Amino acid sequence: MTLDRQRVIDTQRLVIEVFRGFREELLGAFGNFEHTSKPDHSPVTVYDVKVEETLKACLSEAFPEIGFTGEETGAHGSSGLYWLVDPIDGTSSFIRGLPFSTNMAALVQDGQVIAAVIYDFVNDVMYTALKGEGAFKDGQPIHVKERPAGDHFVYSMTPNQIGPVKEALGVLKMRTLLPVGAAGHTYMLLAEGKIDGIVNLNKGYGLHDNAPGLFICEEAGAEILPYDEESGVYRSQFILGSSNVVEAIEHSGLI
């Protein structure tokens, strides 16, 4: 099934509306409630489930042809056209009251992301993108920034390889840091031009963690150097960044 542009915009607007509608409630609980753990020992709260269930219900009523795959409740409906949702990205930050949590969603059609939303509910900042139409922060265009060699900050989302990555990028005079916060927050730093690259070599990393941010970054002008054979929404191992960062790493052969 293929959605026309207006239908994509309409369903994206509904996601934005639902995410914004939870801001007051999430801020009221921010850093101030109990949580439980999932089988993989990652934290989960009643708000993760509530945001996801509410969004699923709203989308199902308004757009029954679109399926839904959530981090907490799994897949429902169409697998060829669906919203992929992380209701609270950075649950650990949310629990502790650290300002790095977001709500994230990507609209996937035939394995390719065609729209995305990342809402920084702590600071009330909305990031959006449509396929081929660029990336936006509160409706204003954002772009990856090109900086000269020797002035590059790269975040490594692969903590168990930080030593080798830092050593390799050091040869290229790139400063490598572990991100503070969660995936959505990190990706938006790149999309806005605040950092210059992201190293993500986590095999099998959750699709909901990568897809919205990766798409928005690419729409903001980021280039990708893949390290797996996957495509579209399934990509999980890659280097993402400004063209001069990606080209320098690719040509060096150091990673």
Transcribe 36-105 into DSSP letters: EE-TTS-EE-HHHHHHHHHHHHHHHHH-TTSEEEETTTEEES-SSEEEEEEEEE-HHHHHHT-TT-EEEE
CATH at 79: 3.30.540.10
CB 202 within 8 A of CB 158: yes
- 39, pLDDT greater than 80: no
- 141, pLDDT greater than 90: yes
Q: What pLDDT score was predicted for residue 166?
A: 95
Q: List the Cα angle 179/121/236 in 5-degree steps.
A: 40
Please state, in angstroms and rounded to a whole number, the distance separating the CA atoms of residues 231 and 111.
8
Q: Which residue has the tokens 């400063």?
A: 175
Mean per-residue pLDDT of the chain:
93
Confidence of residue 179 (pLDDT cuts 50, 70, 90): confident
The answer to the question of residue 157 being in a domain is yes
Query: Phi-psi region for residue 232, left (φ > 0), alpha (ψ -120 to 50) or beta?
Result: left
Q: Give the residue, 160 or 88, on which the prediction is more confident.
A: 88
Clarify whether residues 101 and 165 are in a common domain.
no
Clarify whether residues 178 and 127 are in a common domain.
no
The answer to the question of residue 126 being in a domain is yes
Clarify whether residues 135 and 159 are in a common domain.
no
- 111, pLDDT greater than 90: yes
The answer to the question of residue 147 being in a domain is no
Clarify whether residues 67 and 179 are in a common domain.
no
CB 215 within 8 A of CB 176: no
The answer to the question of residue 104 being in a domain is yes
- 41, pLDDT greater than 60: no
Clarify whether residues 109 and 211 are in a common domain.
no
What residue type is assigned to position 55 of the chain? L
b/e burial code for range 187-223 (CB count within 10 A of at least 16 → b): bbbbbbbebbbbbbbbeebebbbbbbbbbbbbbbbbb
Distance of CA 142 to the CA centre of its chain: 15
Number of domains in the chain: 2
Q: What pLDDT score was predicted for residue 133?
A: 98
Clarify whether residues 103 and 48 are in a common domain.
yes
Clarify whether residues 76 and 119 are in a common domain.
yes
Residue pLDDT, tens place only, 54-101: 999 999 999 999 999 999 999 999 999 999 999 999 988 999 999 999
Clarify whether residues 23 and 121 are in a common domain.
yes
Question: Strands, E, within the chain: which ranges?
Answer: 36-37, 43-44, 67-70, 74-76, 81-89, 102-109, 112-120, 125-130, 135-137, 140-142, 152-156, 174-177, 197-200, 223-226, 238-241
pTM of the model: 0.94
pLDDT, average across residues 232-240: 95
Burial of 17 (0-12, 13-18, 19+ CB in 10 A): exposed
Local structure of residue 179 (DSSP, 8 states): P
Clarify whether residues 206 and 105 are in a common domain.
no
Domain hosting residue 14, numbered range:
5-142
- 16, pLDDT greater than 60: yes
Distance of CA 4 to the CA centre of its chain: 24
Clarify whether residues 156 and 135 are in a common domain.
no
